[in-house]
Amino acid sequence: MKFICLGYIDAAAFAALPDAERHAMMDSCFAYDDYLRANGHFKGGEALQPPETAMSLRYANGRVVVTDGPFAETKEQLGGIMILEARDLNHAVDLISKHPGAKAGPWEIRPAADLGEMVRESEARRRARRPA
C-alpha cells in the first residue's frame, strides 16, 4: 500500500538550533531516508522550501483568488512529503516513528487513494458527451 506522509516542522525553531545539532539532525534524517530507499519503502518525496515561498489558490465568487503563503497559519508548517510503501497502516506508523524527522515536528500519514475506477468512469462520461 502507498501512504503519503506529510512531515511538519517549526522552521524558526529548526533554524535557531546550533549548527552541530542541526547537522546531526539532518544527517540522521538523510541516513534514514537511505535506509527506507534500500528497503523499497521510499517511493518518492520532496522537501519543501519555506512557507513564505508558497502561493495558495482558492476559487471564490467565480474566479481564482491567489494569496501569499500556505493555508495553515500555525507554528508548524509542512516541511516535506514522502510517498511511502508499507504493508499496512501499522507498518507505515512503525516506519515513520523511527524517522529522526519525527523529533522535529509531527507527521501525518494518509493512505493514497486509488482513483482508477473514478478516472475510468469520468473518461466514459467525457467520451459519451463528445459529439460523434
Residues that bind another protein (CB under 8 A): 1, 27-28, 31-32, 35, 38-39, 87-91, 93-94, 98, 100, 111
| 38/128 with CB nearer another protein | 38
Q: How far is the CB of 89 from another protein (least distance, A)?
A: 4
| 17/124 with CB nearer another protein | 17
Q: Taking Cα atoms as reference points, which of 30, 40, 38 lies closest to residue 86?
A: 40
Direct distance between the N- and C-terminal alpha carbons of the chain, in angstroms, rounded to an integer: 40
What distance in Å separates the CA atoms of residue 108 and residue 88, rounded to the nearest whole number?
15
Residue with cell 469520468: 122
| 11/95 with CB nearer another protein | 95
